Amino acid sequence: MSVIIIAEAGVNHNGDINLAKKLIDVASDSNADYVKFQTFKAKNLATKSAEKSQYQKSNTKNNDSQYNMLKSLELSKEDYRELIHYCKSKDIKFLSSAFDLDSLDFLLSLECKVIKIPSGEINNYFYLEKVANHEIPVILSTGMCTINEIEDAIKILTSRKLSINDITILHCNTEYPTPMKDVNLKAMLKIKEHFNADIGYSDHTLGIEVPIAAVALGAKVIEKHFTLDRSLDGPDHACSLEPLELKNMVDAIRNIEKACSGSGLKEPTSSEMKNKLLVRKSVYLKNDVKKGTKITRDMIIELRPGNGISPMEIPNLIGKSFNKNLKASTKISYEDFE
């Protein structure tokens, strides 16, 4: 199965459905599999006095509370229905993360084919329990988590209708942008080993190198934020890919996917067989030789092409006698010896 690439629009629509549609256009043009949004109501997500995180303060122009910022980024239920319809017209799958129970119920009512659990809800017992009651594949982000916290969440998710085979666990670091020294891609492999589950990576680094590396290590799902313009005002724009970067990431992942396929056996491929004789060497004479001469190492040279005796056979040729006179630059064959 191909790596699933989720283009994370998130809240980079800034509460504007027309901007959201432009993001869908970009995701579709990039050939990502999904375009993902974030579904929430500010009143169910944060108190009115909750502070913004440092990255939210850095990337937004006003000094409003987190609540007011979230309120300005809400989309309505009708907006989401319209976006789902628009996704279908653009031949890209719709996905959204619910950040509260009401929003989760709403997304379930839309018959979404995948449930994406954001890192912030991984310790939300009743949220996880609700997900566990549905036989829908789950993608679980694990930013800020210990392995024990992931284990606790998995126990709830698999307590009803889901099994571990229905869950893809995404390694993630919830810092925007994530410093390279904190990526810790080896943790993704540890998650796979510990849970015997499909793994993926939700990336918040700058650039496209890390998600590509994650695919090389076995990620089955990649999630990456994107925007129309990193200079736009909003919490996530600054650490998001711009349109051409998103396209480059998708193309690179597809190439790495191909490069990591194959049997694993070390053997010549069909594409290189045509070069084998041209770049390998055969045994040739340096000088003229007379019949009866015994071959010595200094009489021969290894030259392309490789359609004669292999240089690996030279030790077996030393001391043999020629059965005819031969000219310099002759390609030696076994028929030339007594």
Check which CATH number belongs to the domain holding 302 and give it.
3.90.1210.10
Same domain, 254 and 279: no
The domain boundary, picked from 259, 282, 310, lies at 259
Residue 111 lies in a domain: yes
Same domain, 246 and 298: no
Same domain, 164 and 145: yes
Residue 205 lies in a domain: yes
Same domain, 169 and 305: no
What is the pLDDT, as a whole number, of residue 2?
A: 95
Residue 264 lies in a domain: no
Residue 182 lies in a domain: yes
Longest dimension (CA), the chain: 101
Residue 179 lies in a domain: yes
Residue 181 has pLDDT above 90, yes or no: yes
Per the prediction, the chain carries an average pLDDT of 96
Same domain, 177 and 286: no
Residue 265 has pLDDT above 90, yes or no: yes
Residue 11 lies in a domain: yes
The domain boundary, picked from 259, 284, 319, lies at 259
CATH of the domain at 233: 3.20.20.70
The domain boundary, picked from 227, 259, 291, lies at 259
Same domain, 85 and 203: yes
151: Cβ–Cβ under 8 A, 6 or more apart, which residues? 194, 195
Euclidean distance between CA atoms 183 and 292, whole angstroms: 70
334: Cβ–Cβ under 8 A, 6 or more apart, which residues? 309
How many C-beta atoms lie closer than 10 Å to residue 264's C-beta?
A: 6
Q: Which of 200, 190, 108, 111 is nearest to 148 (CA)?
A: 190
How does residue 29 score in pLDDT terms, banded at 50, 70 and 90?
very high
Could you tell me the residue range of the domain that residue 306 belongs to? 270-336
Q: What is the pTM of this model?
A: 0.91
Same domain, 109 and 243: yes
Same domain, 323 and 234: no
What is the pLDDT, as a whole number, of residue 71?
A: 94
% of the chain residues with pLDDT over 90? 94
What is the pLDDT, as a whole number, of residue 61?
A: 80
Same domain, 10 and 80: yes
What is the pLDDT, as a whole number, of residue 1?
A: 82
Residue 112 lies in a domain: yes
Residue 55 has pLDDT above 90, yes or no: no
Same domain, 112 and 189: yes
Q: ∠ CA(51), CA(172), CA(74), 5° rounding?
A: 45
Q: Which of 110, 91, 83 is nearest to 19 (CA)?
A: 83
198: Cβ–Cβ under 8 A, 6 or more apart, which residues? 167, 168, 169, 192, 220, 221
| Residue 201 contacts residue 223 (beta carbons within 8 Å) | yes
Residue 58 has pLDDT above 90, yes or no: no
Q: Based on the structure, what is the number of domains in the chain?
A: 2
Q: What are the b/e assignments for 310-326, b being 16+ CB within 10 Å? A: ebeeeeebeeeebeeeb
Convert the pLDDT of each residue in 85-133 to its tens digit. Answer: 999 999 999 999 999 999 999 999 998 999 999 999 999 999 999 999 9
Q: ∠ CA(177), CA(202), CA(159), 5° rounding?
A: 135
Q: Pick the residue with more confidence: 63 or 293? A: 293
Residue 265 lies in a domain: no
Same domain, 220 and 89: yes
Helix 147-157 to helix 186-195 angle (10° resolution) is: 40
Convert the pLDDT of each residue in 193-239 to its tens digit. Answer: 999 999 999 999 999 999 999 999 999 999 999 999 999 999 999 99
What is the pLDDT, as a whole number, of residue 203?
A: 98
